[in-house]
Amino acid sequence: GAGVSQSPRYKVAKRGQDVALRCDPISGHVSLFWYQQALGQGPEFLTYFQNEAQLDKSGLPSDRFFAERPEGSVSTLKIQRTQQEDSAVYLCASSFRSGGNSGELFFGEGSRLTVL
Amino acid sequence: DAKTTQPNSMESNEEEPVHLPCNHSTISGTDYIHWYRQLPSQGPEYVIHGLTSNVNNRMASLAIAEDRKSSTLILHRATLRDAAVYYCILRRIVYNQGGKLIFGQGTELSVKP
């Protein structure tokens, strides 16, 4: 597709379940970012990949959160033992360049996670 | 990370110009000023960015103060589809961080017909 694709769009999990959220970036994009957006708040940075290398994971809130991008394209954000405070929209973004200032980020529509 | 300050909300009438202000008094020389907007139930969307000079594109104009401590996003003729949250972001390119965007609360723009 032409844009960043995320799946599933909606996910309901029981507290304690593990979830996996998938991101298909735009083909050829080097950089990939994950964000978490709570209701009524701006997106918060979670982690950054340059190709397959995870160069910045400073925003991951706990060791229950894990992200990977093994072949430098598709990425998966995994949340283990979900808690209610994990309920949010998880946004993925990609950009063509790895660090240029004009590397506009293209965002997907997000995966809305609700933890009961 | 340098911080930006924006009004929480603004109102505009359809087909009138809108000026969305942003203060960034702690901006450093290498920070780029980026604007993104987020329509309801969608991911953020790039609008425009600049460093020192005013910038125009098909979506909007960006006016940057001479001292760079403030900027204004200008929508020349607001439409109902411009109703969104507008984020003013200072983007700093740090080695191996890919120029991550740090979002604030943004300005929620409503457009009245």
Distance, CA of B40 to CA of B65 (rounded, Å): 30
One-letter amino acid identity for A54? Answer: Q
**B34-37 long-range contacts, Cβ below 8 Å, gap at least 24?**
B34/B88, B34/B89, B34/B90, B34/B91, B34/B101, B35/B60, B35/B62, B35/B73, B35/B86, B35/B87, B35/B88, B35/B89, B36/A105, B36/B86, B36/B87, B36/B89, B36/B101, B36/B103, B37/B82, B37/B84, B37/B85, B37/B86, B37/B87
User: In angstroms, what separates the C-alpha of A115 from chain B's closest C-alpha?
Assistant: 19
| Interface touch A50/B96, C-beta < 8 Å | yes
Q: What is the pLDDT of residue B97?
A: 66
CA distance A78 to chain B (A): 20
> Per-residue pLDDT for chain A (116 aa), expressed as one digit of tens each?
589 999 999 999 999 999 999 999 999 999 999 999 999 999 999 999 999 999 999 999 999 999 999 999 999 999 999 999 999 999 999 998 765 555 789 999 999 999 99
> Is B92 an 8 Å CB contact of chain A?
no
Q: How far is A61 from chain B (nearest CA, A)?
A: 15
Nearest to A101 among B42, B93, B103 (CB): B93
Q: With an 8 Å Cβ cutoff, are A99 and B93 in contact?
A: yes
CA of A55: how far to CAs of A66, A72, A98, A100, B56, in Å? Answer: 13, 13, 11, 16, 33
Cα B40 from chain centroid (whole Å):
17
Q: Give yes or no for a contact between B92 and B1, defined as CB atoms under 8 angstroms apart.
A: yes
Average pLDDT rounded to a whole number, residues B16-45: 94
> How many beta carbons lie within 10 A of that of residue A14, not counting itself?
8
Cβ pair A42:B91 closer than 8 A = no
State whether A45 and B102 contact (CB < 8 Å). Answer: yes
